[in-house]
Every structure is written in C-alpha cells, then in structure tokens.
C-alpha cells in the first residue's frame, strides 16, 4: 500500500461523514433543507430533534468502533468486540433491574445501565492479570452469567415494562439520556487517547514478548485498554442501549481499507462506525415511518453483507 493511500482514504471518510450527517438530519417524514428551512417549525425540528439524534448516533457508533479496535488488539483476537467481556450484559441487567424496581421513573433504565456497566468493568478488572486468552474466556463466562441474570429479571418485570425493556435491548436512539455534546466529547477524548498510545498498540500486534523487548509496558497497556474500552462501551450502552456488530466489523473493514497502523485506524474506525450507525438509524426511523425499526437489527443487516463481500475480495 502506498503511503498516500491511507491519508486519501481518511480524507474521503471525513467528506463522507460530513455528507451523511447533513443528509441524515434532513431526512424524516418530510425533507428539511438545513440551509433554507420552510418555516420556524421545520428549523426547530431540524436543529432540536433530528440533528441531536444524528450526532448521538454518530458518537455511539464511533465509541463502539474504537472500543472494538482496542479489544481486538488487547486480546489478540479478531473476533473480540465491545460486548465480548460481558460489559454490555451487565449494563442490560442493570437497566432491566432498575426498570423492575422503579417502573415509573423515566431515567431508571439508563441509570441502571451505567451502574451495571460499571459493575461489569470492576468484575472484569479483577481478571486483568490473567492474560489475553484467559481474560477472553473469563469474559465469555461472565457474558453467559449476565445473560442468565437478564433472563431472570425479564421474567420478573411487569408486563407494561417489557416493551420498553426489549426496545432498549435492541438499541434505542429516540430518547438518549446523555447529551450529544457530552458523547462527542467522550468520543474525542477516546480517539486522542488511542492516538497517544498508537505506537505501543502497533508494537503489541507483534506479540507480548516482542512488545516487551521493544520497551512497551504490556501489563499496564492491557489494563489501560481494558478500562478505556470498557468505559467507552458503558457510555455507549447507557446512551443507546445494546447495539451489536458495529465494534466487531468496522475495525476489520478499516484495516482492510487503510492498514493496521493505529494512528490512522483509530480515527478511521471512529468515523466509519459513526457513519454506519447514523445510516442504520436513519433507515430505522424512515423506512416504516412514523413507526421505528430496531436499529441494532439494521446494523447487522447493513454491515454483514458488506463485511462478507470484503472478506471474499481480500481472502
């Protein structure tokens, strides 16, 4: 790959991101021109309803993608993704548990999701010293445990709350409890943090022994990746519920497009993950409007064929 190609790809991603954000915010039951809205009501709908939702979707998709890239290099496993260590499962269990305890409180589910995700991060942190392979196995077991807890809580949940709980578990960007500004700030900090350790991540790809020989504090780097990627997942789940697939596929696609160097991979993953989730959410709220489709289902329907095509092309 020529050196100019990754830079060109990243520039094209930036242009694509800007175009997708503008078009997605304009789409809905009626098209709104952001530069010349028809009236004050249309302008208010664009700036106060559609654009904040689009920015939320972009930030959540970017967080999941950057977290996925971090988990994959930390665990040395291309199948690792933000939910592999059970953080999303603990967040879902916390959300449903709070919904059962406080059925009439609007913020119970997002608050429970954050508490549950924080608990999941703490438990996973206890196994951080086991090494990548055992940590991955511990994550699989923890994910199964949280799935069992979630099933138990769903069986105890009042019937009137089941619809809201299932909607949140399939991804819900209609009423995020976190502001898009906060989410974008968290995404920016995450990207900058990844860029700060990008050289160390590149060396970690060579293996733990080689990374240590090159002066990389592997154990400290693993702990930082674990906490950072888990925190990104916790924020994304708190904001939008459980949305799978984005953090698994986008880092792969970006490696195929621009290569494995993390100084380019991390910002590219943030942009592409945001574009994917914005596209899926736009389809979710427009295809059967005024009803909405589960955005988590659409991310899989959009991404899986693209990912399989890339795998066949680059096999």
Q: Whole-angstrom Cα distance, residue 280 to residue 301?
A: 9
Angle of helix 246-258 versus helix 295-313 axis, rounded to 10:
30
- The domain of 184 spans 4-25+32-313
Residue 255: what pLDDT?
Answer: 87
User: Each residue's pLDDT tens digit in the chain (315 positions)?
Assistant: 444 477 788 889 999 999 999 999 998 888 888 888 878 888 888 898 899 999 999 999 999 999 999 988 888 777 777 777 788 888 888 888 887 888 777 777 778 888 888 888 788 777 767 777 777 788 888 888 988 988 888 888 777 777 777 777 788 888 788 899 999 999 999 999 999 999 999 998 888 888 888 888 888 898 888 888 888 888 898 888 888 888 888 998 898 888 889 999 999 999 999 999 999 999 988 887 777 888 888 887 776 777 677 667 655
Q: Tell me what percent of the chain is helix, strand and coil, each rounded to the nearest 5.
A: 75, 0, 25
How many folded domains does the chain comprise?
1
Cβ–Cβ under 8 Å, residues 97 and 154? no
Task: State whether the Cα torsion 281-284-285-291 is positive or negative.
Answer: negative
Name residues whose C-beta falls within 8 Å of residue 245's C-beta, 6 or more positions apart in sequence.
Answer: 81, 296, 299, 300, 303, 304
Closest CA to 197 of 218, 179, 176: 218
Q: Where are the alpha helices (DSSP H) in 50-131?
A: 51-75, 87-101, 108-125
Tokens of 225: 């990746």
Signed CA dihedral, 270, 271, 272, 274: sign only: positive
The C-alpha atoms of residue 94 and residue 111 are separated, in whole angstroms, by 8
Say which CATH number the domain at 234 has.
1.10.3470.10
Structure tokens at 262: 């993390």
Cα separation, 173 vs 146, in Å, equals 23
- What CA–CA distance (Å, rounded) separates 42 from 37? 6
pLDDT digits (tens, 9 = 90+) for 83-131: 777 888 888 888 888 878 887 777 777 788 888 888 887 887 777 677 7
């Amino acid at each position: 790959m020529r050196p100019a190609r990754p830079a060109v790809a990243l520039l094209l991603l930036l242009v694509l991101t800007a175009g997708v954000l503008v078009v997605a915010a304009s789409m809905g039951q009626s098209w709104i021109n952001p530069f010349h809205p028809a009236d004050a009501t249309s302008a208010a709908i664009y700036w106060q309803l559609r654009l904040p939702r689009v920015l939320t979707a972009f930030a959540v998709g970017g967080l999941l993608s950057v977290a996925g890239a971090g988990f994959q290099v930390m665990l040395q496993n291309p199948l690792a993704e933000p939910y592999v260590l059970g953080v999303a499962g603990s967040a879902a269990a916390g959300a449903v548990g709070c919904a059962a305890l406080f059925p009439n409180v609007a913020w119970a589910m997002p608050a429970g999701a954050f508490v549950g995700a924080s608990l999941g991060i703490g438990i996973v942190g206890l196994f951080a010293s086991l090494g990548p392979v055992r940590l991955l196995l511990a994550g699989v077991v923890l994910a199964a445990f949280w799935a069992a807890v979630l099933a138990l809580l769903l069986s105890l949940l009042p019937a009137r709350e089941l619809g809201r709980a299932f909607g949140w578990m399939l991804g819900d960007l209609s009423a995020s409890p976190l502001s898009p500004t906060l989410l974008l700030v968290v995404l920016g900090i995450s990207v900058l943090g990844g860029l700060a350790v990008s050289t160390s991540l590149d060396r970690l790809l060579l293996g733990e022994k080689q990374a240590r020989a090159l002066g990389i504090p592997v154990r400290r780097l693993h702990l930082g990746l674990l906490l950072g990627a888990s925190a990104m997942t916790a924020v994304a789940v708190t904001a939008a519920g459980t949305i799978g697939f984005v953090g698994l596929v986008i880092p792969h696609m970006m490696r195929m497009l621009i290569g494995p160097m993390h100084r380019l991979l991390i910002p590219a993953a943030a942009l592409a993950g945001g574009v994917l989730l914005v596209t899926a959410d736009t389809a979710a709220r427009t295809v059967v409007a005024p009803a909405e489709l589960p955005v988590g289902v659409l991310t899989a329907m959009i991404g899986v064929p693209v990912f399989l095509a890339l795998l066949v092309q680059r096999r």
